[in-house]
Structure 1
Amino acid sequence: MKILLLRTASNYLLPLLLLFSVFILLRGHYEPGGGFVGGLIASIAFILHSLAHGLNNTKKILRRPPFYLIPFGLAMAMLSGLLPLFFGQPFMTGLWMENALPIIGLVGTALFFDIGVYIVVIGVTLTILFTISESI
């Protein structure tokens, strides 16, 4: 009975936790939160799914091994730091759009840095935990 309850709950919790992780990511450059915490919450969602449905079913959802996310996230974070150099600003200077977007707010290089961190944290966390799960 516990397994059925966990499977049913994880089917509903996976999209909710992923949505909450994106909320924490977007909230991060104004209040506490950001890419690291959002990435951990997204990783927890996939770990919960793998506990309920098995590691292979969770890997089918991801479609690619999670370590492929790491270089993509690092490149995004690095490019957000290099972008101010093209405008004569020091490395990692925050650049912001003049107009705010309706839901997100002001978009700037800090947001893209947070998105890169978010992707790296998901890739690293899932790679470590999937590797440990496979060895057991």
Structure 2
Amino acid sequence: MNSVLLQIATKYLKWILVVFALIALFRGHNHPGGGFIGGLLIGLSVVFQSLTSNAQSAKDKLKIQPEGYISLGLLFILISTLPGLFLKDTFMTGVWFSIPFPLLGELKIGTPFVFDIGVFLAVIGVTLLFFFTFNKVAKWK
């Protein structure tokens, strides 16, 4: 599409979607759905970008291809399950680590957050893979 208005709106809307996706991700490790909703929002930002030009140029601008996002997400999900096993507890038990920062205090990171990051990355990959595959089958430009 060659709409100047759509191109300008997409430039700003893309970053608004990224900010809301990150808010959903960081909120989601304490509440359900953060990684999933955040991943969908990031995927939607790429879809909006492809509406202004074409899907192939949007796919070429990606630093990581959709399959890479899926693989990286599954790796994070696998990593989030391991601390519970290493501590001789049940599978997928939540474990929290404290990382001390000078002048800032402690940052607590838990395995549920690592799991949420994995879901976030996997959903980005699946959303983009679905969109690019559907776009290729439909032969839209």
Q: Sort the TM-score into its range (normalised by shorter chain).
A: 0.7 to 0.9
Matches within 5 A, 1:15-94: 15-94=15-94
- How far the C-alpha of 1:100 sits from its partner, in A, is 8.7
| Mapped contact 1:28–1:34 kept (Cα < 8 A) | yes
Aligned partners of 2:56, 2:62: CA distance in 1, in Å? 10
Q: Provide Cα deviations, 1:97-126, integer angstroms capped at 9, x if missing partner.
A: 346987xx7420000000000000000111
* 2:114 pairs with 1:112: yes
Q: TM-score, length-normalised on structure 2?
A: 0.84
Shift of 1:133: 0.6
C-alpha RMSD of the superposition? 2.2
Identity of aligned residues (%): 39
Query: What is the Cα deviation at residue 96 of structure 1?
Result: 1.2
Contact 2:77–2:114 (Cα < 8 Å) also in 1 = yes
- TM-score, length of structure 1 as denominator length: 0.87
Q: Relative to 1, partners in 2 of residues 1:68 and 1:98: Cα closer, same or farther, differing over 3 Å?
A: closer
Structure 1 107/37 Cα, relative in aligned 2: closer, same or farther at 3 Å? Answer: same
Distance 2:83 2:26 in 1: 20
Show structure 1 runs of 5+ residues with no match. Answer: none
Q: Which amino acid aligns with 1:89?
A: D
Q: Is the 8 A contact 1:73 1:117 kept in 2?
A: yes
Does structure 2 retain, via aligned residues, the 8 Å contact 1:100–1:107?
A: no
Change (3 A) 1:28 1:70: same
Higher helix share: 1
Runs ≥4 in structure 1, deviation > 3 angstroms? 98-102
Alpha-carbon distance change, 63 to 71 in structure 1, aligned in 2, over 3 angstroms: same
CA distance in 1, matches of 2:114, 2:94: 10
1:61 and 1:6 mapped to 2: Cα distance? 19
Match for 1:111: what amino acid?
A: F
Partner of 1:14: 14
- Cα 1:7–1:83 shift into 2, 3 Å: same
